[in-house]
Amino acid sequence: MPSPKAKNPGRGGGSPVLGGSNGRYEFMSLTKPLSRSSPPPLLLQRQGSDPTTARLRASESPTRRRGSSSSTGSGQGLSEEDGIRLNPSFLRVALSSLLAIDLWMSKRLGVCACEDSSWGSVRPLMKLIEISGHGIPWLAGTGYCLYKSDSAAGQEVMLNLLMGLILDLVLVGVVKAVVRRRRPSHNRMDMFATFSVDRYSFPSGHATRAAMCGRFLLAHLVLAAPLRVLVLLWASLVGLSRVLLGRHNVTDVMFGFWMGYCQYNLVEMMWLSPQTLQSMLGLEV
């Protein structure tokens, strides 16, 4: 006789979960608590492996990896570009800092800029040193010595010194016209015999002339040791007076010394020989 449970399975209060073989069904009670080790049926269904979903995941994963790698590469590229862009800005900041230090030092050292400055009583002496490095006295003195010289050797030296002075005026005027750096704000425009480009500050023409003439005198004149020391002291005082009087900034004088030092090398390269001097002046050597 067949069992009543087999005829009417709905009366047992369970729900069919698994279909067994031989036409029999197993029932699981909904009221029976599940063990902690076994997950709920819904979770089993969600964690089940669907072939379509697996294929989609397999097809999407390389793309995502390529996308992530490309994004990482682009991030590295941007970082390199940012590094390249930072270099000019860093150089600009460094130059601005050096310029600020230069202006600060020049203002602090301008102690003879006017009569009521801290060293205002030394201002007349500094102006006398300033005139000693001016171009007009040097051009006039060199031309006079060239005219009064009796020997060809003396005229050769004076002629090359005159050529160096003219070269100094031209080069300094060109650089000043190109750079166009204004003189310090605490400067008083009471300089001796100024010209159009003299309103600009960079480089210091007195410093270039002092360096060039100092090297020239030490190389081509036979001077005793005390006189050689005086030449070096004069060149240094000319450059220092430019800052103390407030005429130039510190970098103007430093660059002027370097430029005058190089100008002497140029004069040596363009040196006029005695034969050239003879043909120019009509002298018999």
Provide the annotated active-site residues.
206, 248
Closest to 132 measured CA to CA, from 227, 214, 202: 214
H/E/C letters for each residue in 44-82?
HHHHCCCHHHHHHHHHHHHHHHHHHHHHHHHHHHHHHHH
Of residues 125, 148, 154, the one with CA closest to residue 237: 125
Q: Where are the alpha helices (DSSP H) in the chain?
A: 4-7, 41-47, 51-109, 123-132, 135-148, 152-179, 205-220, 225-244, 250-269, 274-281
> How many Å is the Cα radius of gyration of the chain?
46
* CB atoms closer than 10 angstroms to residue 12: 11
* Cis peptide bond upstream of 62, omega within 30: no
The residue type found at 240 is: L
Q: Which residue has the tokens 């510190």?
A: 250
Contact criterion met (CB below 8 Å) for 263 and 208: yes
At residue 16, φ and ψ (nearest 5 deg) are: -70, 130
Length of the chain: 285
